[in-house]
Amino acid sequence: MKTNPRFVFFGTAPLASGVLSELAQAGFVPERIVESAKIQPEFVDELSKESWDVFVVASFGKILPKRLIELPKHGTLNVHPSLLPRLRGASPMRSAILTDERETGVSVMLLDEQMDHGPLLAQKKILVEPWPPRGRELDERLAHEGGKLLAQVLPLWIEGAIQPQEQNHDLATYCVRFSKEDGLLDLNDDPHKNLLKIRAFDGWPGTYAFFERSGKKIRVQILDAHIKDNALAIDLVKPEGKREMSYEAFLNSGAKPL
């Protein structure tokens, strides 16, 4: 069995760093690492001059051209942090929290030209407790779990010991790329829904609400919260232009939610 394949890694944080770490720990080190960038024809020409066993993609953020995908002897593998065909797209980890999808995990698939569409090589369910996790915690957890799964799959795939399985495309769901505007909270909305949003948007894009103080409208980042007595209990905020502070201290300054 060939245990040290020649491969190129395409990826961006937060998924890429955890995957690379686990691959390195298992003895698999890429000859080149390509971060999110537009793939030019000249770059594909350059890669085509060498012989590659496989390419690996982890949250690259760009659609790879067919010629590049098919360049390696054993194709291109993709690590995706969801149980495909659930949550195809740009934000599977954060969308899992936002939609309260507690059964989550990681998938390794053979990449094709469509988004998260190719046949599956392996999947692993991950139990996440307590729920809901903070977004950056789930990013880290699934990145490392994805890397571990890929490290198991890689030699078996190259050896020819894995048969790809077509996804059930009828069950596919999709997620979107979030923007800062998506983080607006209605503090009168369902408490659990608001908590999911605060946790899902941890770090990026963040959540915020508007308050009034001394006759002025101010935008306030909501950094963390929990549920207490079936209500949303905000713990930490960051008013516009100010430092982080407890919600209690913020309210004591005379601020009131709009």
The model's pLDDT over 203-252, given as tens digits with 9 standing for 90+, comes to 999 999 999 999 999 999 999 999 999 999 999 999 999 999 999 999 99
Tell me what pLDDT residue 61 has: 81
Place of tokens 């060498």: 50
Tokens of 95: 């969308």
Domain boundary among 175, 195, 213: 175
Taking the CB of residue 224, how many other CB atoms lie within 10 A of it? 17
Task: With beta carbons less than 8 A apart as the criterion, state whether 179 and 187 touch.
Answer: no
Q: What is the pTM of this model?
A: 0.93
Domain check: are 170 and 187 in the same one? no
Q: Is residue 2 one of the residues assigned to a domain?
A: no
Tell me what pLDDT residue 233 has: 97
Q: Which CATH number do you get for residue 247?
A: 3.10.25.10
Task: With beta carbons less than 8 A apart as the criterion, state whether 168 and 85 touch.
Answer: yes
Angle between helices 15-25 and 135-159 (to 10 degrees): 50
Domain boundary among 141, 175, 209: 175
Domain check: are 72 and 148 in the same one? yes
Tell me what pLDDT residue 3 has: 62
Which structural domain, as residue segments, surrounds residue 117?
Answer: 7-175
Domain check: are 64 and 163 in the same one? yes
The DSSP bridge pattern shows strands 231-239 and 245-246 to be: antiparallel
Handedness of CA 82, 88, 92, 98 (dihedral sign): negative
Instruction: Kindly give the confidence (pLDDT) of every residue in the chain, 258 residues in length, as a single tens digit, with 9 standing for 90 and above.
Output: 446 899 999 999 888 999 999 999 999 999 999 997 788 999 999 999 999 999 999 999 888 999 999 999 999 999 999 999 999 999 999 999 999 999 999 999 999 988 899 999 999 999 999 999 999 999 999 999 999 999 999 999 999 999 999 999 999 999 999 999 999 999 999 999 999 999 999 999 999 999 999 999 999 999 999 999 999 999 999 999 999 999 999 999 999 998
Ordered strands of the 231-239 beta sheet: 245-246, 231-239, 216-228, 207-213, 256-257
Task: With beta carbons less than 8 A apart as the criterion, state whether 95 and 87 touch.
Answer: yes
Q: Is residue 135 one of the residues assigned to a domain?
A: yes
Domain check: are 142 and 196 in the same one? no
Tell me what pLDDT residue 62 has: 83
Q: How far is CA 87 from the centre of its chain?
A: 10
Q: Is residue 1 one of the residues assigned to a domain?
A: no
Task: With beta carbons less than 8 A apart as the criterion, state whether 188 and 39 touch.
Answer: no
pLDDT tens digits for 59-78?
Answer: 998 889 999 999 999 999 99
Tell me what pLDDT residue 38 has: 82
Domain check: are 239 and 154 in the same one? no
Enumerate the β-bridge partners of residue 107: 80, 123
Tell me what pLDDT residue 218 has: 95
Query: How many separate domains does the chain show?
Result: 2
Domain check: are 171 and 50 in the same one? yes
Tell me what pLDDT residue 1 has: 43
Tokens of 152: 């198991």
CA–CA distance from 21 to each of 150, 158, 211 (Å)? 11, 21, 43
Which DSSP string corresponds to 17-73?
HHHHHHHHHTT---SEEE-S----HHHHHHHHTS--SEEEEES--SPPPHHHHT-ST
Tell me what pLDDT residue 132 has: 97
From the list 92, 167, 68, the residue with the least C-alpha distance to 122 is 167
Task: With beta carbons less than 8 A apart as the criterion, state whether 205 and 199 touch.
Answer: no
d(CA 63, CA 57): 11
